[in-house]
Amino acid sequence: MIEQFNPKVVIIDINGIGISFADAMIKETFDEKFQVMRPAYGFNNREEYLPLQPRGCEKILYGIKANAQLNSDMHSALYSKVYSGKLKFLISESDAKVKLLATKKGQRMSPEDKNKRLLPHEITSILINEIMNLKLKPTGNANQIAVEQINERTLKDKFSALEMGIYWIVQEENTLMSRRRNRGLGGKKRTLVFSGRGGGGDKR
């Protein structure tokens, strides 16, 4: 998937079974299906992996080890993007199928190509169902947000993956804004004024 999509970052939940997945990602692996070696990757935010991952590897992994406060921060980041209208979802797979089959190109597609084309919409529908199955859960802490599943048989892994991605984006946005502020608004040059003593007068 990394080779196919060339992502800037790959976010991994390194709690629980995610630890084993992270350990595998920092090692070269043999892909038996395609009979090729897949490269090792490195974490760019977890110091504990620095002595374990190969030197010079591509550091595109971002590990998240969630706790109550971090989960709350991720929930808040996701909800703010949804309610502000900045996060747009794909249409359902049923609507996408109707639109696809209304085109000559869609009508000529093989069943395999149709399934591949509609897969993102199918996953989006599953994601929406997961979100609709969640409700706010009291935490006893006014500054924290928690969610729980209404029906425990409905998973929430796609919801978790989405909010981890949104959380990373928000952190990148905050870092970018902080750098812009440090350089001066709009990149304009700032004039710093220092009060000088001992006959030197004001220094700029």
Q: Token digits for 17?
A: 């079974």
94, HSE (Cβ side, Cα atoms, 13 Å): 2
- Provide the sign of the torsion angle of the four alpha carbons 162, 165, 171, 174, taken in this order: negative
DSSP H or E segment with residue 100: helix 93-101
Q: What is the DSSP letter of 203?
A: B
Query: Quick one: residue 50, left, alpha or beta (phi over 0 = left, psi -120 to 50 = alpha)?
Result: alpha
**For residue range 127-144, what is the model confidence (pLDDT) as tens digits?**
999 999 999 888 888 889
Q: pLDDT tens digits for 18-70?
A: 999 999 999 999 999 999 999 999 999 999 999 999 999 999 999 999 899 99
**134 CB contacts (<8 Å, ≥6 apart)?**
147, 148, 149, 150, 156, 159
